[in-house]
Structure formats: C-alpha cells, structure tokens
Structure 1
Amino acid sequence: MENLKKKFNRYGSIIKYLSYSIFVTVIDIAAVWVIMSFLNVGIVYANTIGIIIGFIIHYLLASKSVFNVEYGILGIGVYFITFLFGLLMADFIVYLSYIRVFYFLGKDINFLLSKGASIVIPFFVMYFMRKYIYLFLGKYFGEKGGMRN
C-alpha cells in the first residue's frame, strides 16, 4: 500500500491529467453527437464546438489541480497556445501516420492506429510543455502573474 502511495505521489499529476483528458474526450464526443443529431449541424462545425467545450472543461479541471495555476489571462493563454500547438501536431501526426506509417494496413486499422498516435503523442507533449511553461512562468511572475509555486 505504501508503494502505491509513493507511485501516486510521483505520477499523480499525470494520472489526473489523463483522467481529465479521458473525461473531456467523452464529453467532446457526446457533445458532437448531440449537436449533429438534434441540431442538424455539420460534422466540422459540431466537432469544432465539441473541441472548444472540451478545451474549456479541461482548462478548468487541470489548471489548478494538475499544474497548480490560478485562473487568469496568463494561465489560459498558455493553455490556449499549447492547445493550438497540440491540435496542429495531432493533425500532422494523423496525416503522416495515415499516409506514410500505417498505409500498408487495412483502411480501418490504419485509421485506428493513426488516430491513436495523434491522441497519445500530443497528450504527453502538451502535458510536459504546460508543466514546464507554468513552472518557468511561476518562477518569473510568481503570484502576480497568476502562477502559484
């Protein structure tokens, strides 16, 4: 039991981040389905709305409990910029994986592996980017900039 506590203390923030990400993904998918099914909105617009809803919920859940950051302009600015970077990275990875890496597999398997790669890789990159950017800004701005140490 003590060993489990040590592991959670060591990896607790990334476990929380992962659980929030899974929760937000479910909300995102449900929102897109509801918007498409009941409001007769196209998939691109519905998906964009779902992504924005997920982004807001994820920021509200993770900024304080994972990154120890106060809500504010600086905090959401970092979250938004890293979100855009992650979105571009995910699109690049899904394209590259689909066209170059898993192209020889069946269409469905190719899609699943490419989509999986476009979720998993940006997940870790964005987590560590946010962690170290917030750490740097916390040292630079401290409480004044909305960062807590």
Structure 2
Amino acid sequence: MNIGQAAKDSGVSAKMIRHYEQIGLIPKAERRDSGYRDYSPADVHVLRFIRRARDLGFAVAEINDLLDLWRDRSRQSADVKRIAKAHIANLRERIASLEQMAGTLETLIDCCAGDERPDCPILADLEDPAEFLNVASALNFRKAHP
C-alpha cells in the first residue's frame, strides 16, 4: 500500500512516517518500480504501535526501546515495566511543573486589573519575574492594609 493508505490505516501522518524512517525508528519502506514507498500490513502494525506509544506520551527514544523489546521474543517483561515506570515518573514531574505554571499564571491574572490602564503584572512578570514579585508583594500589602 502507498504511504497515504498506510497513514490512514495506522493513524500516523505521512509526514511522520517519513520522519520515522529518516530517524531510523522504522526501516525504510520497500520501493515500487515507480519509486513510491510500499508498505505492508506488518509495517502498518508497527506504525499503530508507535502511534499508541506516542498517544501515551513516550519519547521517540523510549519507543525505540519498546519496539526492540516488542520484537525480542526472549525479552523480560521487567524491562518493559522499567521503561513504563520511568515514563510515569517523568509524566508526574511534567504534571507538577504544569501545575506550578498554572498557579503562577493564576496569581498573575489575579494581580492584573484587566482595565484600560497600561500597567499589566502579566507583562511585567514576563519581562522580569523578580520585579513582578516586588510589585505583587506591594499590591498584596495594599490590599491587606487599606
């Protein structure tokens, strides 16, 4: 099948299929006499595996390791579990970081009057986070001590 059909059947875009070939995540497809790539059902199966791993947030290097283990019938499931546990730890770190970002943005939004004046704590923080902390402390002091 051609790359368009492989993309449709696997849920991986043609552009990503070419990218995966280029970086060696998947082998280069066989070529027809016309020069077009030719994919087999087995190739599509691998692409679906990759798509599912990407949906779960695995990085390309992790997917490569998982593919190696998937192909190795003498593998130990402990090796797969180790990769998955490390990935969960990474996801939890990213979640904590995103929560911190959201909290910071919520604080900035709370400090912004959102009116016609040009002063904006959100922009002030983007320009100089240390300066914003000084401004935010002063604003909070003024709110607490009218």
Does the TM-score normalized on the shorter chain lie above 0.5?
no
Q: Which has the higher contact order (CA 8 A, sep 6+)?
A: 1
Larger helix fraction of residues? 1
